[in-house]
Amino acid sequence: PHSALRTPIDSFIVSALEAKKLALSPPADRYTFIRRVTLDLWGIPPTFEQVREFKEDSSPDAHERLIDRQLASPLYGQRWARHWLDVARYADTKGYVFTQEPRYPYSYTYRDYVVDAFNADKPFDQFVLEQLAADQLGLEGNSEALAAMGFLTVGRRFLNNNHDIIDDRIDVVARGLMGLTVTCARCHDHKFDPVPTADYYSLYGVFASSMEPDDLPIIGRPKGAAAYEVFQKELAKREQAVSEFEQQSLTKLHDELRERVGDCLQQVARQSNNWLNLPSDIAEKIQPVFAGKNEPRQQVVKRWDEFLKRTAAMPHPVLGPWHSLAKASAADFPKEVEKLVEPWSNPDAAATKSVNGRVRQLISEKKPATLIDLAKLYGSLFDAVRGEWDSLKKATPDAKALPDEAAEQVRQILYGDGSPAMVSLDESRRLIGRDVRDKITKLKREVENLKVTSPGAPPRAMVMRDGGLQNPRVFIRGNSGRPGNEVPRQFLEVVAGPERKPFNKGSGRLELAQAIIDPKNPLTPRVLVNRVWQNHFGTGLVPTSSDFGTRGLPPSHPELLDWLASEVVEGGGRKMEGGSKEGTTSPSLPPSELPPPNWTLKRLHRSILTSAVYRQSSADNPAARPIDSENRLLWKMPRQRLDFEAMRDSLLAVTGQLDTSLGGRPFENQMDVKSNRRTIYGLVNRNDLPGVFRAFDFADT
């Protein structure tokens, strides 16, 4: 065997080098090594004392013990969590959201969860399960793990376009965990990889069947009971202001809808329902209802049209005449009115008794000539009955019904269950005027702002829960207005095979997570080890770390990628699904010093950092450069530039000012320039990223 071989990793690298008549560079000196590994694992340089201690340590396992000490430090989690947060498109704001509160009050709880998970060496398979389905794992007594679901919920909000939000979640799961560009199949089958549009919408259904609760679970208490009490009082006050104003707006909307019934019926009559089937942008231009102080509301007229269609299925004392006359042509309308009222002259006739007395009286007296005239008559009747009800309620506040049976039948259309004029609070948000919406948004922003700024606000987890379950339909060309065939919620066929089973446990998020970490899935461990390799060597074994498809670049050392993936999953070099070569032996570290073997990153770090490949010098070799100019075969250790986080933290560290405390709310990068906290705790504002972040190519989230 080659004299430079220290771990199985070296076998793969040296074999590829020897095929090109190349060799590893000599080992780096101890000062270079401790600086390299400390910046790698901690993101700050070693202290003078740490360098001296390492250089004076003559024991044969000095390098291994140095690595173990650094992996055991909380500084490791702070550094390596940043790498994962980039994958998870972490930010503390929602992107452009118009007038809504732009900040996520509790995004920091996800960041803190990731730091803690890396420090605790949480197995990566459990890490994935918690990020996709912590709410379904029965984590009683470990509520902090619920914060893991920020992986799904800290993305952009796209002006609350739910289709784009779901697309973003599919992307972070597929590219972040498996290196698959599944979202390319949103509008058509993937042009390069075997991912059909149907598979995209199978995943779409998983997230469309999940929802974010308004009341997020508390996962800890703030520091100080007094601050918490002040927060609770102010929160209750602001939430009550929102609730009261929404209720006032809803009551006002109900009154307004009842006042405009005649207008709605005239609009239905005038357009003969045809405009309701036109595209919304055209329909809004041709219907003038509510064109006064409020904007035109096509959906209100449509509610009345749908109500009329529902009531046409059975005899209706109030609307029966409408249903009969609506079928008449314009030319025959007066004749049909005469036919309708003729039997009413006999008070004992069945036709007379089946029609509301107030309606009979109006139609008999006014003899409408058109359907629009009939709509006006109905409008006047509804106005009269509404006035009678208002007068009765003023005189008798606890009244339940009008004393006149005919009037009560009319009133039920305005106030009863199923009335188009009775909308829920959720429905009302689409019908209220812009001025009211803006006021509600302002009040809600005050609530959210309190959660962001109050020191007494308890940390909460940005979770998801299963909502209304649905098997989605494929959107033709990605257009939600053109739903196609229904597809089941299930995993990708390219990974799971044609015999895959649909998800049947709730939304399917837990089953999706289990499919992602299944040992039969060859992608997840390979993408994981490739990302770790990339952050140690500057470039992954697969240079396109988020694209393992046909558009991505091939691995420089495919057998090494297979072996590392097998080591992560199995911990002993056993063959994995999709592997190209049997694993060899485990790294030469004493078993007693190893953590539990499966899916642990610290073991992977040790395997890489103790290798001769990692320990070699970064000095140039003029003889090797013409053969492998990009150093893809790793004949020397690649030189790497510090990213912004490491540069800032290093400047603070060497001056003795770095605050390495763990967790907490973010500090303002631009406003609080005097903060000495580690950069990972700085506010990430999608809409206003500090210029220095952009200059140093901070991750675009």
Question: Tell me: the pLDDT tens digits for 488-542?
Answer: 999 999 999 999 999 999 999 999 999 999 999 999 999 999 999 999 999 999 9
Q: Which pLDDT value is given to residue 254? A: 92
pTM for the structure as a whole:
0.80
Same domain? For 323 and 422 the reply is yes
CA-closest candidate to residue 148, choices 421, 527, 461, 440: 461
Contact present, 487 and 198 (Cβ < 8 Å): yes
Whether 278 has a pLDDT exceeding 50, the answer reads: no
Q: Give the residue-averaged pLDDT of 668-674.
A: 71
Same domain? For 236 and 253 the reply is no
Q: Give the residue-averaged pLDDT of 349-370.
A: 93
Same domain? For 425 and 488 the reply is no
Decide if 606 is inside a domain.
no
Decide if 332 is inside a domain.
yes
Whether 291 has a pLDDT exceeding 80, the answer reads: no
Same domain? For 271 and 395 the reply is yes
Same domain? For 297 and 346 the reply is yes
> Is 214 exposed, middle or buried (CB count within 10 Å of its CB: 0-12, 13-18, 19+)?
exposed
Whether 462 has a pLDDT exceeding 80, the answer reads: yes
Decide if 60 is inside a domain.
no
Q: Give the residue-averaged pLDDT of 332-351.
A: 92
Q: Based on the structure, what is the number of domains in the chain? A: 3
Please identify, among 495, 517, 539, the residue that sits at the C-terminal boundary of a domain.
517
Same domain? For 410 and 342 the reply is yes
The amino acid at residue 59 is S
Same domain? For 406 and 258 the reply is yes
Confidence of residue 419 (pLDDT cuts 50, 70, 90): very high
Q: Which pLDDT value is given to residue 313? A: 85
Whether 177 has a pLDDT exceeding 70, the answer reads: yes
Q: Tens digits of per-residue pLDDT, 557-613?
A: 999 999 999 999 987 543 445 543 333 333 333 444 444 458 999 999 999 999 999
The boundaries of the domain holding residue 476 are 122-218+463-517
Q: Which pLDDT value is given to residue 697? A: 86
Same domain? For 229 and 161 the reply is no
CB atoms within 10 A of CB 402: 17
Same domain? For 403 and 448 the reply is no
Same domain? For 230 and 269 the reply is no
Exposure string (b/e) for 2-21, b if CB count within 10 Å is 16 or more?
Answer: eebbbbbbbbbbbebbeeee
User: To which residue do tokens 């025959």 refer?
Assistant: 332
For the chain, give the mean pLDDT.
90
CB atoms within 10 A of CB 531: 19
Q: 1-10, 93-102, 230-239, 484-493: lowest mean pLDDT where?
A: 1-10
Same domain? For 359 and 470 the reply is no
Question: Rounded to whole angstroms, how far apart are CA atoms 299 and 305?
Answer: 10
> Is 646 exposed, middle or buried (CB count within 10 Å of its CB: 0-12, 13-18, 19+)?
buried
Question: Rounded to whole angstroms, how far apart are CA atoms 71 and 30?
Answer: 18
Q: 176-185, 308-317, 587-596, 611-620: lowest mean pLDDT where?
A: 587-596
DSSP class of residue 465 equals: E
Q: Which has the higher per-residue pLDDT, 342 or 296?
A: 342
Same domain? For 319 and 379 the reply is yes
